[in-house]
Chains A and B, each alone.
Chain A
Amino acid sequence: MTTDAAPRSNAPSLAERAWRIRRNAVRMGEVQGQGYIAQALDIADVLAVAYFHAMTYRPDDPEWEGRDRFLLSNGHYAIALYAALIEAGIIPEAELETYGSDDSRLPMSGMASYTPGMEMSGGSLGIGLSIAVGMGLGLKRKGSKNFVYTLFSDGELDEGSKWEAIMGAAHHKLDNLIAVVDINQQQADGPSGQVMGFEPLVDKMNAFGWFTQRVDGNDLDAVKAAFDAARNHPEPKPRMIIADTKMGKGVPFLEARERNHFMRVDAHEWQLALDALDAGRPA
């Protein structure tokens, strides 16, 4: 997880990391009784690759200058990022019990001033990529080799400002910018493509001058390969990983649930969800 740490053979596998992120997220969901748990489950594999394969950082120094930056544009995915930050050792596991509660450092919507490792304040959707453009420019000014990662959701493609930033990143040749868009086909009013059509997204992104890959966002090997290709691509272009994911991934009865944007889960079901995850724990 840091440049100076060589991979250790006894380090948990990415599958184990993703499993733990999902488990942390479900435990936080239980504190609230509801929430964006289906999104957390769908994006856990991407976060496992980001935090335990791709990114450089120091858990005990979240603002270390030599870190790769990670901007959570979709602030409601905070539950997922907290789960990853806990697994990464940036947030103590004990704080998980405070999620969304008064005086917690883990509010429901991610905000920079509350949480170590949270680089921006989300909530108002569609703004993360603009900040990422500025940070990418800033890193280049400083001669830094670090990357700026930003995660956003398919619904955010509705925002015109997203397309300003998509144009701007290509115009400024930000090859240190890696954007991941979560295509889980679910936004507040329904399936994302039906609320506002955004396909063909690969063609669009290529036409906008981005190095673009589309992968199954719940296939760890494919996600890992996409992050590697994004980091190593030689052209002076910003990089986009379009990750098709499944809402509720890893908990079959939640995967099957239709109204899953802001999911209500009955009290007894949280244990069932943990049981389902544990049944699927990687060997």
Chain B
Amino acid sequence: MKPAPTTAGGKPRLTTSAMIASIAAEGQATKPAPFGHALVAAAKQDDTIVGMTADLGKYTDLHVFRDAFPDRCYQFGMAEQLMLGAASGLAKEGFTPFATTYAVFATRRAYDFIHQTIAEEDRNVKIVGALPGLTSGYGPSHQAAEDLALMRAMPNMTVIDPCDAHETEQVVPAIAAHKGPVYMRLLRGQVPLVLAEYGYRFELGKAKTIRDGRDVLIISSGLMTMRSLEAAALLAADKVDVSVLHVPTIKPLDTATILAEAGKGGRLVVVAENHTVIGGLGEAVGALLMREGVQARFRHIGLPDEFLLAGALPTLHDHYGISAEKVASRIKAWM
């Protein structure tokens, strides 16, 4: 049990505020519902695309698609196992279902349905999971700290962890065109716009250097690429030159690019992920470097192997060391 809170100290206590907290910083450029709008655009080109929801249409941005194509959107109520089994059936009949819910319910509650009806049968289903990693302060019920580990462990599954609105818009048509099961982490609502200014283009299976630097190589995915870029700017003020290699495709991993970057030598290699330190990008990269004999000083920023606290998201990101400030200070301490 947690100790009772104290009221001492000058800082105002933040509130959890909502199940879905915004990950956008105040004043940050954002785009609304990039997934929903991108799915509408893709569906205009590809009439096999259908949408599926388990009573979370509004909270996964699927409502944008539902409003545009009401007869191509299926409601399954809070029945995730049914939704994912039915997604397999629709795919078997030649459709391309985008099955959406929270990441916790897709990957944890319906795991066997994904495993048996989608992955084992290699069905063309796109599973889209909102609130990935630590993007809710609601508590472990809604914090998908282990979704990547679960999905990575499944044969046939492609796993994508997009960084921002710009990338999400590009991932949607890419995975619609890809034949086979895909798990995509979903950032929804007002989603930060970060990568456009770097001229970034998403390619399935490709890791890309967003910024180059001499002292530190951060290998990151999803939200943590955004945080890593912010941390790199903070560290630049301290004359620490940071490279950020963004790895949106967690599986299959772009081993060639990761090996080439980590093998350059002389740089501290830090993997940063919005995920438990077990079974995600960090362990994948660590194992890869070991297997291929690449020597590097290696550090890992991720969520601890414990049930995460409830609270306000900025507080929790600070607490677990995944805020930009904490990433910067931890790297500085490792230098």
Q: Is the interface of B mostly helix, strand, loop or mixed?
A: helix
Asked whether, in the complex, the Cβ of A133 is within 8 Å of the Cβ of B116, the reply is no
Q: Is B213 located at the chain interface by the 8 A CB criterion?
A: no
| A-B contact number at CB 8 A | 102
Contact A130–B95 (Cβ < 8 Å)? no
Given the known inter-chain contacts A120-B121, A137-B74, please indicate yes or no for A130 contacting B81, CB distance below 8 A: yes
Q: Is B77 a contact of A127 with CB atoms below 8 Å?
A: no
Contacts of A127 in B (CB 8 A): 81, 85, 112-113, 116-117
Q: Which residue of B lies closest to A140 (CB)?
A: B93
**CB proximity of A80 to chain B, nearest CB, Å:** 20
| CB neighbours of A133 from chain B (8 A) | 82, 85-86, 89
Taken together as a complex, chains A and B put the C-alpha atoms of A12 and B335 apart, in Å, by 82
A112 touches B79 (CB 8 A): no
Please state if A137 and B90 are interface contacts (CB–CB under 8 Å). yes
Closest to B74 in A: A137
Is the Cβ of A165 less than 8 Å from the Cβ of B82?
Answer: yes
Closest to B75 in A: A171
Q: In chain A, residues 101-139, which have Cβ atoms closer than 8 Å to a Cβ of chain B? A: 111-113, 119-121, 123-124, 127, 129-139
Q: Is B92 an interface residue (CB 8 A)?
A: yes
Indicate whether B53 reaches chain A with its CB closer than 8 angstroms.
no
Q: Is the CB of B86 within 8 A of A130?
A: yes
Candidates A120, A123, A124, A130; contact of B82 at CB < 8 Å: A130
Chain B: how many interface residues by the 8 Å CB criterion? 28
Residues 68-126 of A contacting B (Cβ, < 8 Å)? 111-113, 119-121, 123-124
Interface size on A, residues (CB 8 A): 31
Task: Report the bound CA distance from A142 to B95 in whole Å.
Answer: 10
Q: Of B85, B87, B115, which contacts A165 at CB under 8 A?
A: B85
Chain A proximity of B227: nearest CB distance (Å):
38
Instruction: Specify which chain A residues have a CB less than 8 angstroms from the CB of B74 in the assembled complex.
Output: 137, 172
A164 interface residue, CB < 8 Å from B? yes
B88 at the interface (CB under 8 A from A): yes
Among B77, B87, B97, B116, which residue has its beta carbon within 8 angstroms of that of A167?
A: B77
Q: Are B81 and A135 in contact (CB under 8 A)?
A: no
Min CB distance B179 to A, Å, is 15
In the complex, whether B94 has a CB less than 8 A from a CB of chain A is: yes
* Interface residue? A141 (CB, 8 A): yes
Q: Which residue of B lies closest to A168 (CB)?
A: B82
Least Cβ–Cβ distance between A170 and chain B, in angstroms? 12
Docked pose: A160 CA to B78 CA in angstroms: 12
Chain A CB within 8 A of B76 CB = yes
Is A164's CB under 8 angstroms from B81's CB? yes
| A134/B89 in contact, CB under 8 A | yes
B172, chain A: closest CB distance, angstroms = 21
In Å, the complex CA distance between A93 and B182 comes to 38
Residue A142 contacts which of B93, B116, B121 (CB distance < 8 angstroms)? B93
Cβ < 8 Å to B, chain A residues 135-152: 135-139, 141-142, 148
Nearest chain B CB to A126 CB, angstrom units: 8
Contact A113 B89 (CB under 8 A): no
A141 adjacent to B88 (CB under 8 Å): no
A134 B121 Cβ-Cβ under 8 A? no
- Contact status of A131 and B88, CB under 8 A, knowing A161-B81, A164-B81: yes
Residues of B within 8 A of A164 (CB): 76-77, 79, 81-82
Contacts of A137 in B (CB 8 A): 74, 86, 89-90
Measured between C-beta atoms, what is the minimum distance from A76 to chain B in Å? 14
B50 touches which of A112, A120, A121, A141 (Cβ 8 Å): A141
B-side interface residues toward A, CB under 8 Å? 50, 74, 76-77, 79, 81-82, 84-95, 97, 112-113, 115-117, 120-122
Q: What are 30 A-to-B residue pairs whose CB atoms are below 8 Å?
A: A113-B120, A113-B122, A120-B117, A120-B121, A121-B121, A123-B116, A127-B85, A127-B117, A130-B117, A131-B88, A131-B92, A131-B117, A133-B85, A133-B86, A134-B93, A135-B89, A137-B90, A138-B90, A138-B92, A138-B95, A141-B50, A141-B93, A161-B85, A161-B113, A164-B77, A164-B82, A165-B82, A165-B86, A167-B79, A168-B82
Given contacts A111-B120, A137-B89, 13 further A-B contacts (CB under 8 A): A113-B122, A120-B88, A130-B117, A131-B89, A134-B89, A135-B93, A137-B90, A148-B89, A161-B81, A164-B76, A165-B85, A168-B82, A171-B77
Closest 4 CB pairs of A and B: A134-B89, A130-B85, A138-B93, A134-B86
